[in-house]
Amino acid sequence: MFGRNKPPTLAEVPRSLDEARSRLLLRVHGAEHAGVDRLEAELNGVTEGLPAMQRITPDLSVGAVVDLPEGYLKVSPSTIEAWGCTLEDVIRAGADRAQGHEFSASRLDDRTILVRDEVYAGAVWVLPELASSLPVAGAPIAWALGRGLTLVTGSDDANGMMVAAATIQELLQNGERVESVTPHRLTRLGWEPIAWAPTPEHTNELVTRLHKAQVYGRQAEPLRTRLAARGGAGVGEYTVVRKPDGLPWSIATWTEQSPAALPVVDEIILVRLDGASVGIPWADLVDRAQDLLEPVADLPARYLTTGFPSDDMIRAALGRS
């Protein structure tokens, strides 16, 4: 329910939205990181402390925290009930705080801007005009990077996607939690997710896989704990490699007679008891082996192996690929 080092004292906890208003921050949550947050909360029996969230796009939701001297108070459904208001009231109050707020921004190139500000980072997703006010070329395209970071470029900036990919790659490789690597373009209807434009050295494809590796890495330990209650199973690692042509690629290993919760990857490496192995694209194998894969997590998705593909399944999948 709280962030930082220790929880606020009862005297610090606001008793109403009006009391919280001047210290309210909107927080953006990526769907897969939020899925891991829920798994951790379920294991610890503290789901009531999860933040109430408003869905903005399929990949992004916005919640709120109250910035207190001793920590961040997550605004949960029970907090909202105690305040006698609605989530919409909370989101509106957070957005109001952002109106006229002066935020810190730095140019990564002439038209790509990194905003370092906790007020801006959540509010821009409910107040898109905060992005429209930036000097970018064309319609704003934004990334919700988390920890008070928002990256914005323009649809007419030929280098914008390249700069964004390089910036996000550095954050991920430094171990920073990145909420989402999905580009969102501002339209008349609001923020809409779009595809990455190709970037040099496939950096855009690298950051999407590095982000998957990050959320799968966070998920591994709590999922291992949950599976232990069912008798135990391994948790397959999501590994990012580069193919000979330089294309980033994700792999995981499915070993015979070793049950494991597999991540969704580009390629599954099947390993038999005799040591023989073969790599098969996930999409080519999964339809044939779906009876051997039990869903055990949604965000990010994982499947528990309940057997091993037969020789016929493997031949059919290899024939397809």
For the chain, the 3-state helix, strand and coil shares in percent, each to the nearest 5, are 35, 30, 35
Q: pLDDT digit string (tens) for 235-248? A: 999 999 999 999 99
Q: pLDDT digit string (tens) for 118-143? A: 999 999 999 999 999 899 999 999 99
Look at residue 5 in the predicted model and tell me its pLDDT. Answer: 46
Q: Which of the four pLDDT bands, split at 50, 70 and 90, describes residue 11?
A: low
What lies within 8 Å, CB to CB, of 137 at 6+ separation is 111, 153, 154, 155, 156, 157, 160
**Burial label, 281 (beta-carbon count in 10 A; 0-12, 13-18, 19+):** middle
Tokens of 30: 């990526």
CA distances from 53 to 63, 104, 237 (A): 4, 26, 30
Tokens of 116: 């370092």
Mean pLDDT of 253-279: 95
Rg, Å, the chain Cα set? 22
Q: Please tell me the distance from the alpha carbon of residue 198 to that of residue 113, in angstroms, as a whole number.
A: 20
Considering the entire predicted model, what is its pTM?
0.92
Q: Choose among 69, 66, 71, 68: nearest CA to 5.
A: 71
Q: pLDDT digit string (tens) for 170-209? A: 999 999 999 999 999 999 999 999 999 999 999 999 999 9
Average pLDDT, the chain: 93
Q: Which residues pair with 116 in a beta bridge?
A: 104, 149
Q: pLDDT digit string (tens) for 13-42? A: 899 999 999 999 999 999 999 999 999 999
CB 61 within 8 A of CB 54: yes
Residue with tokens 């509106």: 92
CB 30 within 8 A of CB 180: yes
CA distances from 55 to 10, 130, 135, 233, 314 (A): 30, 19, 27, 33, 40
Q: Which of the four pLDDT bands, split at 50, 70 and 90, describes residue 8?
A: low
Q: pLDDT digit string (tens) for 55-109? A: 999 999 999 999 998 789 999 999 999 999 999 999 999 999 998 888 888 888 8
Q: How many CB atoms lie within 10 A of CB 65?
A: 23
Domain boundaries, the chain: 10-98, 104-197, 233-320
What lies within 8 Å, CB to CB, of 157 at 6+ separation is 111, 112, 136, 137, 138
- In the sheet that holds 239-242, the strands lie side by side as 239-242, 248-255, 267-271, 277-281
